[in-house]
Structure 1
Amino acid sequence: MKTRRSSRLLLAVSLALNVAGCVEQDESIQPGPSNPVGEARQAVVSQGIKDKVIAGYQGWFSAHGDGSPVERWYHWSGGVYRSNEGMPAPGHQSFDLYPDISEYPPGSLFQTGYAPLGNGAPAKLFSSYSADVVNKHFQWMQQYGIDGAAVQRFMTTDGVFMAHRNSVATKVKTAAEATGRLFYIMYDISGMDDATFVQMIKDDWTKTIVGQLQLTTSPRYAVQDGKPVVAIWGVGFTDRSNSAARSSELIDWFRAQGTYVIGGVPTNWRTSSGDSKPGFTEVYKKFHMISPWTVGRYKHDVEIDSYKNTHVIPDRDYCATHGMAYQPVLFPGFAWYNWNGGPKNELPRRGGAFLWRQAFNIRSAGIPAAYIAMFDEYDEGTAIAKAAEDSSMTPTNQYFLTLSSDGIYISSDFYLRLAGKATRMIEGLDALTPTVPIPYTNGPVWFRTGGEETDAALTWSNTIDPTGGGSVGVTGPGGTGGVGFGVVSGERAHGGSRALRISGRDTAATGGSFAYFKAYDVHIPVQASTQLSFWTYPQNSLSQHVTVDLIMTDGSSLRDSGATDVNGIGMHPGASRGTVNAWTQTKSRIGQWLAGKTIDRILITYDYGPLTGDFLGYVDDIEIRD
């Protein structure tokens, strides 16, 4: 059995987009002042999809011990039926983006063969077979304002596999009803034989979806123009075996059943070129709604903008002329390094700018709907569901993509918040905005990095901060060159393999010697509960004056605030810190001194007047949180 793998990348999500003149108004929510993310679209949404943003929902992850019919590791890795053999372990995984597992009930999580996460927690993964997991996913959709989900349906003669999929679909129905979200079935014909796929899908729809599971009777099953919605993904792709005749037969049959049919089609469906087979033009016209696949088709803003002009607008106009609705696809980024090779972080998310540019172009083209690929696709790094923020939330002995892999600290819920805002913008509830309109985090963690490749990266390397302290009386180690500061690998690290290192020679025994390096550009509001923590490793007594400093937006600093750590030691670098040749953690409740201010940048510093000589110190695992 194959999953949806297009000629370059894979998998889709349904975002209900429509063309001007065909917009169905959502009676439950009317355009008005913007609500905060987290309050948007929480009310029950209407069943029509022409003016909705829908996320593709896989629901395909399983684990040994989850009680499912297959009871094997699936999609996290290639496991063995009813066995723990093949469980995810270093070098044995088929997913790239590690999920944030912190909100799932313990009974929904299953132990892997990885070392503990960077924060010390066991490396576990969830099973989509768990009702608690499905419920949590739909609660997130409701909380963050995503209208609903297109439930992926892969067909096979394997009855055990289909029993698993049926159970997940039933749980989706229950979760959608509890949260007021929409859902509909999306058949993926990838890997299906042309001679048999039509009858298999007909039988499944009549006997299972409508008959046994009765999904279409749910008040939350999507209905457009009085017709239950069904999507068929994969029609007309050059790397799929389906013929125009068979595809046409299936669409005609669904229309005769009184359904509203969406087509997941190639990028170049309209011109029958590139990824689209010839001879499918009349087949495409049979769909009520067209949703062209875009994952992997662009990377940079100039390419996204070009795609708008060469595909989105012409597609929109063609659909309007031929009486079809239009549902563009957008995605947050892509990577399948662990599963299929290729570069790490192949299509970077760019701190949400990649997804937002697509949403901006969709709305600016007057299209009020979209399909997000995908909600829970951790396999290829396209998931918008909560994911690991940084190396502290991934196993220490295996590479995984994190949300901070672009070098910016990003909270696990950022892409849910962003998808909610994109939904509001696309649907006309918020103003058209060209740049990402939300912060990377709303706390309680405001910043965290250990310098690892999947953590927030230095904004500046080896750069003295002239307004934050400057440098006096310090040269390079041994008295030559300049003082050095940057990330080093394989020398000293509190966690992982990297740390920040500052080294030099203090040349002035009187008048003070110091070097203040800019490290991270941030914008962090300080509350009374805000705390700073970090680890230091001094290699001699002078190095005990290597530490972290903060510069506020008003120009004031942590070092001159009078702040102390939890042991009463001053936060000024002049105070000796830590034990020579050992890692020591510093914690300071900085909110006691800085509440109401905003942190503008984080510095790594050396500052000590009385002695001279070489110093070399390491700093690791910096965190600012409430």
Structure 2
Amino acid sequence: MTKRRSSRALWAVSLSLTVAGCLEADEATLRNPAEAVGETRQAAVTQGIRDKVIVGYQGWFTAYGDGSPTERWSHWSAGVYRSNEGVPAPGHQTFDLYPDISEYAPGSLFQTGYAPLGNGAPAKLFSSYPSDVVNKHFQWMQQYGIDGAAVQRFLTTDGVFMAHRDSVASKVRTAAEATGRLFYIMYDVSGLSDATFLQMVKDDWTNQIVGQLHLPSSSRYATQDGKPVVSIWGLGFTDRPGSAAQASELVDWFRGQGAYVIGGVPTNWRTSSGDSKPGFTDVYKKFHMISPWTVGRYSTDADVDNFKNNYLLPDLAYCNTNGQAYQPVMFPGFAWYNWNGGAKNLIPRRAGALLWKQATNIRAAGISAAYIAMFDEYDEGTAIAKAAEDSSMAPTNQYFLTLSSDGTYLSSDFYLRLSGKVTRLIQGLDAPTSAVPIAPSNGPVWFRTGGEETDAALTWTNTIDPTGGGSQGVTGYGGTGGVDFRAVSGEQAHSGSRALRITGRDTQAGGASFSYFKAYDVHIPVHASTRLSFWTYPQNSLSRHVTVDLVMTDGSTLRDSGATDLNGVSMHPGADRGTVNAWTQTKSQIGQWLAGKTIDRILITYDYSPLTGDFRGFIDDIEVSD
């Protein structure tokens, strides 16, 4: 895969899966944001980047009405200058992963043309232009233990575009200084011409970055060996501008300015093959630090290990021999279905397993620095910043990737929490583990699913739980086959188009008739405030006994705990629940009976003895929260 951007400074990527970036709030507010449960704030990061984990920061999203010089929508969609034309709407978007918008100030959110989110909230999107948005992003970096950011710098003769980039860069400086994060400029030569890129980069550094914005004079601007850090991405790529002579001149020029220069180079830089132009070997040797692009180069754990053996370790040895530092690139996953087509969830994140595997390989190689692509890249679905957890946090009339699209419910801050652990692992502060070392959620929502394609998926389908209840006296609907449990689409749904369904026939009047199906494998701590909620739709009287049950790690169950719902109705499936041919919500403060225990499995069940006959019941929108 090759990192690409068009002349509009949009990202694009050519995929190959075989081998297979003036403070308005006062400083006191910036330094004391509300913290996530279980997270702590990181002290100011020391200078030097050879032992730091850096994230790529785009800061490029705009919206019409945000006050930015661009005066249009960009990166969420292709907007029209000084117009709301091109507002993001179904079929008109250039991003794949929907952000979590719940923590942004109302004035930084802008109405789209999408239907409301699954939770009923208006479908809005943030702009990167307001100071409070940049502040929020750097607060997250501090809160979750991320060292700093490489600020993406694209160049163009469009003065409006450059004015926006200058403003965001200045706001990054202020936010970095307030939160103790490091930052540095990362030039991307994409979209520039052979004839102009060399002078444009030199002029921008001299006149804007140093002369006008004074960024390197910031106490938080990254330095190494007393030199201000600058990264240049794209030199040597087969589809990027610049001859070897031009590239060499640019690197030499920055070194002459006293800079520490990082090279964002092709994957095959060391062999000058594949995505690398030939004849660039001497150019690559001029960089103080080498950072080869890896996004899209692998997907499975086997791919990651192959990459380690064929690229990571040989690259590191080469750098050590030539006295260069090494900054490998990691990414959490990739998708651009809404923008460039291809499969949905093209490179799955695997609930953090892909990012963690890369990190463990980097740690095993003894490398103490890394670059995570990217912090806010919602366009190609590589963002680690807070994102929609599931269908409840995305528009109902347009597909968007969510963090639960891999089938496991994840909180919106999951990849921020994991990136903090990645940082500690690579820096040798935590011991490596084979499994992802964090919980899917730290609350207050511990689990939620509506069964949609971007929600947590069933762990088991049509599988009786022998230790959780088993099955007796029940056969298939209509008297043929066996009782059946599965997710279905297009029959009944409380929200979206999917729900869970049990169908069967109770054959034992007056005897024990029940079927307990395993549905979701979880590990959820129960507190005094923990509540279970779900919706049921019974199609006849017997179906009022289709419901949700819980099995705890100690073997106890919700049904036998004595728990009731908020109306005083027993949570045992033998109690009548809901209204025939209507959706009814059940809520139970289960913490009153189960506090101190841990939920091990969520079951979907039928259990009733007095009558016989067919039953068909639906369940939707299950949630466990505090």
Q: TM-score, normalised by structure 1?
A: 0.95
Q: 1:60 aligns to what SS in structure 2?
A: coil
Q: 2:14 aligns to what SS in structure 1?
A: coil
Aligned residues between the structures: 601
**For residue 603 of structure 2, what is the amino acid of its counterpart?**
L
Contact kept, 8 Å, 2:197 with 2:241, in 1: the verdict is: no
For residues 412-463 of structure 1, the C-alpha deviation after alignment (integer angstroms, 9 at most, x for no partner) is: 0010000000101101111122321111111110100000000000000001
Question: What's the counterpart of residue 25 of structure 2?
Answer: none
Q: 2:523 aligns to what SS in structure 1?
A: strand
Contact kept, 8 Å, 1:290 with 1:326, in 2: the verdict is: yes
Question: What's the counterpart of residue 389 of structure 1?
Answer: 389
Q: 1:5 aligns to what SS in structure 2?
A: strand
Question: What's the counterpart of residue 5 of structure 1?
Answer: 12
Contact kept, 8 Å, 1:4 with 1:188, in 2: the verdict is: no
Q: 1:618 aligns to what SS in structure 2?
A: strand
* 2-structure distance, mates of 1:320, 1:598: 49
Question: What's the counterpart of residue 196 of structure 1?
Answer: 196
Question: What's the counterpart of residue 259 of structure 2?
Answer: 259
Please report how far the alpha carbon of residue 249 of structure 1 lies from its aligned counterpart in structure 2 after TM superposition: 1.1
For residues 385-408 of structure 1, the C-alpha deviation after alignment (integer angstroms, 9 at most, x for no partner) is: 000000000000000000000000
Question: What's the counterpart of residue 502 of structure 1?
Answer: 502
**For residue 5 of structure 1, what is the amino acid of its counterpart?**
A
Please report how far the alpha carbon of residue 3 of structure 1 lies from its aligned counterpart in structure 2 after TM superposition: 3.4
* 2-structure distance, mates of 1:519, 1:505: 20
Contact kept, 8 Å, 2:189 with 2:241, in 1: the verdict is: no
For residues 310-346 of structure 1, the C-alpha deviation after alignment (integer angstroms, 9 at most, x for no partner) is: 1111111111111111000000000000011010000
**For residue 234 of structure 2, what is the amino acid of its counterpart?**
G
Question: What's the counterpart of residue 69 of structure 1?
Answer: 69
* 1-structure distance, mates of 2:125, 2:12: 23
* 2-structure distance, mates of 1:580, 1:596: 35
Distance 1:37 1:255, change over 3 A: farther
* 2-structure distance, mates of 1:312, 1:473: 59
**For residue 206 of structure 2, what is the amino acid of its counterpart?**
T
Please report how far the alpha carbon of residue 582 of structure 1 lies from its aligned counterpart in structure 2 after TM superposition: 0.5
* 2-structure distance, mates of 1:132, 1:556: 48
* 2-structure distance, mates of 1:185, 1:37: 32
Structure 1 residues 402-481: aligned runs within 5 Å: 402-481=402-481
Matched, 1:52 2:56: no
Please report how far the alpha carbon of residue 242 of structure 1 lies from its aligned counterpart in structure 2 after TM superposition: 1.9
Please report how far the alpha carbon of residue 240 of structure 1 lies from its aligned counterpart in structure 2 after TM superposition: 1.4
Report sequence identity in percent.
80
Question: What's the counterpart of residue 39 of structure 1?
Answer: 40
Q: 2:12 aligns to what SS in structure 1?
A: coil
* 1-structure distance, mates of 2:325, 2:434: 25
Q: 2:72 aligns to what SS in structure 1?
A: coil
Contact kept, 8 Å, 2:532 with 2:587, in 1: the verdict is: yes
* 1-structure distance, mates of 2:258, 2:327: 20
Question: What's the counterpart of residue 160 of structure 1?
Answer: 160
For residues 597-616 of structure 1, the C-alpha deviation after alignment (integer angstroms, 9 at most, x for no partner) is: 11110000111111111110
Structure 1 residues 208-227: aligned runs within 5 Å: 208-227=208-227
Please report how far the alpha carbon of residue 37 of structure 1 lies from its aligned counterpart in structure 2 after TM superposition: 6.9
Contact kept, 8 Å, 1:61 with 1:73, in 2: the verdict is: yes
Matched, 1:284 2:318: no
Question: What's the counterpart of residue 560 of structure 2?
Answer: 560
**For residue 264 of structure 1, what is the amino acid of its counterpart?**
G
* 1-structure distance, mates of 2:163, 2:459: 50
* 1-structure distance, mates of 2:472, 2:437: 41
Question: What's the counterpart of residue 172 of structure 2?
Answer: 172
* 1-structure distance, mates of 2:530, 2:88: 37
* 2-structure distance, mates of 1:231, 1:4: 18
For residues 370-395 of structure 1, the C-alpha deviation after alignment (integer angstroms, 9 at most, x for no partner) is: 00000000000000000000000000
Contact kept, 8 Å, 1:48 with 1:222, in 2: the verdict is: yes
Q: 1:575 aligns to what SS in structure 2?
A: coil
Farther-moved stretch of structure 1 (429-438 vs 397-406): 429-438
Contact kept, 8 Å, 1:48 with 1:223, in 2: the verdict is: yes
Question: What's the counterpart of residue 493 of structure 1?
Answer: 493
Question: What's the counterpart of residue 104 of structure 2?
Answer: 104
* 2-structure distance, mates of 1:239, 1:482: 59
**For residue 545 of structure 1, what is the amino acid of its counterpart?**
H
Question: What's the counterpart of residue 30 of structure 1?
Answer: none
Structure 1 residues 364-403: aligned runs within 5 Å: 364-403=364-403
Q: TM-score, normalised by structure 2?
A: 0.95
Please report how far the alpha carbon of residue 6 of structure 1 lies from its aligned counterpart in structure 2 after TM superposition: 4.5
Please report how far the alpha carbon of residue 238 of structure 1 lies from its aligned counterpart in structure 2 after TM superposition: 1.1
Q: 1:464 aligns to what SS in structure 2?
A: coil
Question: What's the counterpart of residue 28 of structure 2?
Answer: none
Contact kept, 8 Å, 1:3 with 1:191, in 2: the verdict is: no
* 1-structure distance, mates of 2:213, 2:148: 19
Please report how far the alpha carbon of residue 247 of structure 1 lies from its aligned counterpart in structure 2 after TM superposition: 1.0
**For residue 303 of structure 1, what is the amino acid of its counterpart?**
D
Question: What's the counterpart of residue 150 of structure 1?
Answer: 150
**For residue 134 of structure 1, what is the amino acid of its counterpart?**
V
For residues 34-82 of structure 1, the C-alpha deviation after alignment (integer angstroms, 9 at most, x for no partner) is: xx97336x11111210110000000000001100001211000000011
Contact kept, 8 Å, 2:117 with 2:123, in 1: the verdict is: yes
* 2-structure distance, mates of 1:336, 1:213: 34
Q: 1:339 aligns to what SS in structure 2?
A: helix
Please report how far the alpha carbon of residue 244 of structure 1 lies from its aligned counterpart in structure 2 after TM superposition: 1.1
Question: What's the counterpart of residue 16 of structure 1?
Answer: none
Contact kept, 8 Å, 1:482 with 1:504, in 2: the verdict is: yes
Runs of 4+ in 1 over 4 A off after TM superposition: none
Q: 1:209 aligns to what SS in structure 2?
A: helix
* 1-structure distance, mates of 2:424, 2:140: 16
* 2-structure distance, mates of 1:158, 1:596: 60
Matched, 1:621 2:621: yes
Contact kept, 8 Å, 2:471 with 2:516, in 1: the verdict is: yes
- Structure 2 gaps, min length 5: 1-6, 22-36
Q: 1:617 aligns to what SS in structure 2?
A: strand
**For residue 449 of structure 2, what is the amino acid of its counterpart?**
T
* 2-structure distance, mates of 1:432, 1:552: 29
**For residue 245 of structure 2, what is the amino acid of its counterpart?**
A
**For residue 38 of structure 1, what is the amino acid of its counterpart?**
E
